[in-house]
């Protein structure tokens, strides 16, 4: 059976080398069974010049492979130069994902995607974005199943998307904690975020790994993993599943999700095999349950 649900590869949030990033996207184009792939810098505008020159080549490779290309934009716009970059994104000829509402006027009425960094928590807000030209909305990381259901009933023609795998982006700051952790200032950061391909773990005072620092961004330490919730996601009306790029075999991750969506394997088997791919990373699904984000429903069955 083939489902109408679609798979996306979300924007790469980590500061990989341009060559590694390019090769990652080439592999997504050639091997990953996904419908859409997001390009663009979301976390820190200082990183953008490293990969931006490669975007046309990468986008062409993805499009030739039959993938939709979405250009994701900054989650926190703080300067005139960054606003100019938003205008440039609007002129790139690609569907744009807006992660800061400051980017909406720059689109001048073009269709766009509401990114997960935007506080979209109720039906009226969804309708406002639809009136502005939104055609898709990736729900906020804190969205619960109940909230997603209410938004789905009010979505009209907007397609709803949900992050279902990977570290959750929790906050973005004007300050760079990654640089500070290395005794550096943001303006002279030496791009130390590039030392941590999957983010830098942050311990609490009692030694718990709860968060990850990624440049100016704070993320969940655990990977959200909603394979077991696939029947619920389908019933609610989530039409697109977003897989966040991690320092893992993302082609294999996408393949498992595709097989689960198409009912070639069960959601439980997909979850079990995802655990085998990421044995050292805790899985979380607390927000979807309406609980604290770092909780995991699998613990309830143990």
d(CA 275, CA 234): 22
Residue 189 backbone dihedrals phi, psi, to 5 degrees: -70, -20
Assess contact for 129 and 114: CB atoms under 8 A.
yes
Q: What is the pLDDT of residue 1?
A: 46
Mean per-residue pLDDT for 194-205? 90
Q: Which two tokens stand for residue 259?
A: 């097989």
Gyration radius of the chain's alpha carbons: 18
With 0-12 / 13-18 / 19 or more C-beta atoms within 10 angstroms meaning exposed / middle / buried, residue 63 is middle
285-299 tens-digit pLDDT: 999 999 999 999 976
- Tokens at residue 109, please? 């009425």
Tokens 């991750």 belong to: 253
Mean pLDDT along residues 56-82: 96
What are the tens digits of pLDDT across the range 114-171?
A: 999 999 999 999 999 999 999 999 999 999 999 999 999 999 999 999 999 999 999 9
| Ordered structural domains, the chain, with CATH | 6-301 (3.20.20.70)
Mean pLDDT of the chain: 94
**pLDDT number for residue 207:** 79
Report the pLDDT value the prediction gives residue 90, as an integer from 0 to 100: 87
pLDDT tens for 213-238 read 999 999 999 999 999 999 999 999 99
Cα gap 113→94, rounded to integer Å: 11
């Amino acid at each position: 059976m083939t489902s109408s649900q679609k798979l996306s590869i979300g924007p790469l949030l980590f500061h990989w080398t341009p060559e590694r990033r390019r090769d990652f996207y080439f592999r997504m184009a050639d091997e990953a069974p996904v419908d859409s792939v997001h390009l663009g810098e979301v976390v820190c505008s200082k990183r953008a010049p490293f990969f931006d020159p490669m975007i046309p080549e990468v986008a062409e490779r993805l499009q030739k492979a039959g993938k939709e290309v979405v250009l994701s934009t900054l989650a926190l716009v703080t300067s005139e130069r960054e606003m100019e970059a938003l205008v440039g994104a609007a002129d790139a000829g690609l569907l744009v994902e807006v992660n800061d509402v400051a980017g909406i006027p720059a689109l001048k009425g073009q269709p766009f995607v509401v990114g997960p960094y935007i506080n979209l928590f109720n039906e009226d807000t969804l309708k406002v974005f639809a009136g502005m030209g939104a055609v898709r909305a990736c729900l906020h990381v804190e969205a619960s199943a109940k909230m997603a259901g209410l938004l789905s009933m009010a979505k009209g023609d907007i397609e709803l998307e949900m992050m279902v795998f990977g570290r959750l982006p929790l906050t973005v700051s004007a300050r760079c904690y990654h640089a500070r952790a290395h005794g550096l200032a943001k303006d002279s950061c030496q791009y130390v975020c590039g030392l941590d391909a999957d983010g830098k773990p942050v311990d609490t005072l009692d030694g718990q790994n709860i968060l990850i620092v990624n440049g100016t961004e704070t993320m969940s330490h655990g990977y959200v993993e909603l394979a077991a919730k696939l029947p619920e996601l389908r019933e609610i009306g989530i039409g697109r599943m977003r897989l966040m790029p991690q320092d893992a075999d993302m082609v294999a991750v996408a393949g498992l999700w595709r097989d689960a969506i198409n009912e070639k394997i069960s959601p439980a088997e997909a979850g079990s095999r995802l655990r085998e791919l990421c044995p050292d990373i805790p899985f979380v699904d607390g927000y979807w349950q309406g609980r604290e984000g770092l909780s995991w429903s699998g613990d309830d069955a143990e």
